Structure 1
Amino acid sequence: MRLPTWLAQHLAAFRAVLVFTALLGLAYPLVMVGVGQLPGLHDRTEGSLVRDAGGTVVGSSLIGQSFTDADGNPVPRYFQPRPSAAGDGYDPTASAASNLGPESVEDILPVPGVVDAEGNPDEGTQSLLTQVCARSRAAGELDGVDGRRPFCTPDGVGAVLRVFHRDGLTGPVTRAVSVNQACPATPFVATFGGVAVECAVPGQDYSGGVITPVRGDAPDRPAVPADAVTASGSGLDPHISPAYASIQVARVARERQTSPDEVRRLVAEHTDGRGLGFLGEPRVNVLELNLALDRELPAGG
């Protein structure tokens, strides 16, 4: 008995579903699991887990982590990773970037006494420029290098003015406000365009002025590298540049009471070259380097 065409087509489609379910839903995953157990691949398929000297899993070589104390301050005996915008920092469940771009230069200053619906005090919002400036200043202080950067004030915020002109966008300057420095701060420049520069009053609207970043006298090539002041796109990058590792060597050596040459040796051993010899840049895995420090150059040793 010949089946109707419509029924034959449905049966053929059903058999195809069964075949591809068995092949792609069962056989293929099982083969991949088996391949993942081969020598040299097992550790990677398990998440590239990293263990300390006692065999305890302390992280993954693919995901960065913070080396801070209970108050969130950097622990001086460890190399510090790059900043992270993932949750509270290196949260794998909240992988993300800040989504701030180069035009983010003006802060929203916290207004004293203002609270949100849950009773939390107003914390304002830092611009990307101020975040970069604050991180550069902090890294400079931590590692004893020049933390100055172009368009940053000495107190670590974006050096940005709102400049008011007589004719709107043109004409003589009638007023200038350092919008990222809340009163009673002393503005980073005393005058601009012949008028005294004011500190900013939180909550006041300065939108009528022209945003004017001021470069300042910082060196063209800051001592603090870019990866020390900017977060990665994922917020989970486990690597830093050799340049960022280099400025941390003296501090780590001092805290561990050893020679900088010994620390540099470990940095070199944990520096990966460019992929295939030409892709990307050399990089240092911070977690693996810090574990090597604890193993070979324990603090106080």
Structure 2
Amino acid sequence: MRIPSWIRQHLAAARALLVLTVVLGVAYPLAVWAVAQIPGLRANAEGSYVSRDGHRVGSSLIGQSFTDKQGDPLKQYFQSRPSAAGDGYDPTATSASNLGPESIVDTLPDPKLKTDDNAKPSLLTTICSRSKAIGELDGVDGGRPFCTRDSGVGAVLAVFGDRDRQGRVPHPTRVVSVNEQAGVVKAPFLPTYEGVKVELAKYGEDYSKGLIVPVKGDAPAKPAVPADAVTASGSGLDPDISPAYADIQVKRVAAARHISADQVRKLLDENRMGRGLGFLGEPRVNVLRLNLALDRQYPVKA
């Protein structure tokens, strides 16, 4: 008896489903699980949890904040890299800001509102404000090129006037500091530009027709506050910071714990990690492990 073609097709599909289920749904997951149990891989596969006094306090693979209830940095702890994942280091919302170098003009808040959800700082202003805050916290120069020193925003001008063939404005008629809002700062970061008085920006005014000119300023080309201190990683979960960022935090941590800077540096040196396999990535410091080492050896006295 000849089996109809549609039955043969369904039987072939059922056999394929059974084989693929066994291979991909059973054999493959078991093989991956077995590999994950190999010594040296097991801890990573299980989340790389870090414990203190028998309690899990985090993972060495996922960053976390060391702040108080108001979100202010706890001075006795090394601070982590910024995060754009959810409310910060949220593994269920891993992400970056998706802002790039062209993001230099802020969306100013409505001064009539207590909180304006439509207001949005540019990437440049976000970096400038973070650098200024870290400089004040750790007692270093928080200045950066293209950042205002006083207000900690992007030093960007909108220059109005006729443009030449190169797109420049040789004879400006009006100049506005687009990221410094009237009523928020007292005076623009630059009094005049090309002989024209610089104005503060006003909410609701459109400056898009002006030539956008970032001003480098007199900040050092190599800022004291390193890049990883002011920018989030692509995942927003980076648990490590650069040795350079750790170094500028030493004095503040030592003062908060009433110990010497050399004592803190000794622990820092013990917790520095080199490049993976000697050539992958960059040297780094795991913030959670370093802070736990500090708590074990030099606990903060109430």
Q: TM-score, normalised by structure 1?
A: 0.92
CA distance in 2, matches of 1:153, 1:41: 47
Q: 1:20 and 1:269 mapped to 2: Cα distance?
A: 49
* Distance (whole Å) between structure 1 residues aligned to residue 276 and residue 14 of structure 2: 46
Residue in structure 1 matched with residue 142 of structure 2 by the alignment: 147
Residues 249, 167 of structure 1: CA spacing in aligned structure 2 closer, same or farther, 3 A cutoff? closer
Does the 8 A contact of 1:161 with 1:213 survive in 2?
yes
Tell me which amino acid in the other structure corresponds to 1:151: F
RMSD: 2.0
Q: Which residue of 2 aligns with 1:30?
A: 30
Structure 2 counterparts to residues 231-246 of structure 1, below 5 A: 231-246=232-247
Shift of 1:38: 4.5
Please tell me whether the aligned partners of residues 257 and 300 of structure 1 are also in contact (alpha carbons under 8 angstroms): no
Stretch of structure 1 that moved more, 212-221 or 32-41: 32-41
Partner of 1:100: 99
Q: Is the 8 A contact 1:255 1:300 kept in 2?
A: no
Q: Following TM superposition, by how much is the alpha carbon of 1:14 offset from its aligned partner in structure 2, in angstroms? A: 2.5
For 2:222, the equivalent position in structure 1 comes to: 221
CA–CA distance in 2 between the matches of 1:111 and 1:220? 34
- In structure 2, give the amino acid aligned to 1:49: Y
Distance 1:63 1:163 in 2: 44
1:21 equivalent in structure 2: 21
Structure 1's 157 and 11: CA in aligned 2 closer, same or farther, altered over 3 A? same
- Segments of structure 1 that go 5 or more residues without pairing to the other structure are none
Q: State the one-letter code of the partner of 2:14.
A: F
Secondary structure of 1:179's partner? strand
Letter of the 1:107 partner, please give it. D
Q: Compared with structure 1, are the counterparts of its residues 267 and 20 closer, same or farther at alpha carbon in structure 2 (3 Å cutoff)?
A: same
CA deviation vs aligned residue, 1:162-195 (integer Å, no higher than 9, x gap)? 0111458544111111111111321001100111
The CA distance in 2 between the partners of 1:256 and 1:83, in whole Å, is 24
Q: Which moved more, 1:128-137 or 1:257-266?
A: 257-266
Determine if contact 1:112/1:122 at 8 Å carries over to the other structure: no
Deviations 1:109-137 (A, max 9, x none): 1011248xxxx545611000001100111
Q: Secondary structure at the match of 1:173?
A: coil
- Output aligned runs, 1:1-301, within 5 Å: 3=3, 7-8=7-8, 10-52=10-52, 54-114=53-113, 121-122=116-117, 124-154=119-149, 155-166=151-162, 170-184=169-183, 185=185, 186-300=187-301
SS at 2:277 equivalent? coil
Return closer, same or farther for 1:20/1:171 CA change in 2, 3 Å cut-off: closer
Counterpart Cα distance in 1 of 2:261 and 2:113: 49
Q: How many angstroms does 1:288 deviate by? A: 1.1
Q: In structure 1, what is the Cα distance between the partners aligned to 2:90 and 2:236?
A: 8
Q: Deviations over 1:281-300 (max 9, x none)?
A: 01111111111111111123
Change (3 A) 1:75 1:8: same
Instruction: Measure, in 2, the Cα distance between the counterparts of 1:127 and 1:207.
Output: 15
Deviation of residue 275 (structure 1)? 1.2
- For the residues of structure 1 that align with 2:282 and 2:226, how far apart are their CA atoms? 14
Moved more, 33-42 or 143-152: 33-42
| TM value normalised by structure 2 | 0.91
Q: CA deviation at 1:206?
A: 1.3
Q: Which moved more, 1:78-87 or 1:25-34?
A: 25-34
